Structure 1
Amino acid sequence: MVVVLVTAASVQDRDGGRLALSRAKTVMPSMVLVWADGGYAGRLVAWVAEHCRMTLDIVRKPKGKVGFSVLPHHWLIERTLAWIVRCRRLDHDYERLPAHSEAMITGQ
């Protein structure tokens, strides 16, 4: 795990993405490619290229594909989230502040 960022539910994914990716670039300057889902498409792609000097690759369903489709690289994220949720303490929102949730994940 490179960086953990917990935000309020009112924060858009793209806005949280800016914060997380700028922190990730600081922690791991050698990072040059990030895969993301369609929720991060749009202006964030150009912002990441300009400010973080990384490529934000949006993973999409193959054209013409109807219904469920296994997307490349998504299983990595889904597996990680499944492991985190298996931890009983992280199954519900017991923490009062986002920093407390981050500390539970990182062990700080």
Structure 2
Amino acid sequence: HGRKRHILTDTDGRLLAVEVHAADVQDRDGAKGVLRRFRRAFPFVEHVFADGGYAGRLVDWARSRTHIVLEIVRRCPTAAGFVVLKRRWVVERSFAWIMKCRRLVRDYAQLTAVAEALITIAATATLLRRWP
């Protein structure tokens, strides 16, 4: 059973929202759930940066349903090879930090709620280690 993990972090990489769902769900569709959760927890945030995989109708959906401006971070069309994308690397780094938790290397959890809880625990442990 494949899973996809969607996380929202602040600009320092601290976890703000997480959603886990089946791998057969498109990224744009899976992001709706995490954006709804994020909006409920942080009603004052108006701007979110996202990967190019979240482009398209999701941008309009986010603006109309959650009142969040979803800015897609795009790669420069003239760039060749590997390019570090501003803002996007923060989420990738956060995934790397939480993947240091042995339980998250493989998806052992039967329920998505358990997988989400394990990600939250790993992010909390990372937070306690990294920030005073």
TM over 0.5: yes
Query: How far did 1:66 drift?
Result: 2.0
Q: Describe the SS at the equivalent of 1:4.
A: strand
In structure 1, give the amino acid aligned to 2:37. R
Q: Describe the SS at the equivalent of 1:51.
A: helix
Do residues 98 (structure 1) and 112 (structure 2) align? yes
Runs of 5+ consecutive residues of structure 2 not aligned to the other structure: 1-14, 122-132
Query: How far did 1:106 drift?
Result: 2.3
Which residue does the alignment assign to 1:3?
A: 17
Compute the TM-score of the two structures, normalised by the length of structure 2: 0.77
Query: How far did 1:63 drift?
Result: 2.9
Q: Describe the SS at the equivalent of 2:71.
A: strand
How many pairs align? 107
Which residue does the alignment assign to 2:125?
A: none
Which residue does the alignment assign to 1:44?
A: 58
**Identity of counterpart residues, as a percentage?**
48
Query: How far did 1:97 drift?
Result: 1.2
Runs of 5+ consecutive residues of structure 1 not aligned to the other structure: none
From 71, 74, 82, give the equivalent of 1:57: 71
Query: How far did 1:103 drift?
Result: 1.5
Q: CA RMSD in A?
A: 1.0
Q: Deviating runs (4+, > 3 A) in structure 1? A: none
Compute the TM-score of the two structures, normalised by the length of structure 1: 0.93
Considering fraction of residues, name the structure with more strand.
2
Which residue does the alignment assign to 2:92?
A: 78
From 66, 69, 80, give the equivalent of 2:80: 66
Query: How far did 1:98 drift?
Result: 0.7
Which residue does the alignment assign to 1:34?
A: 48
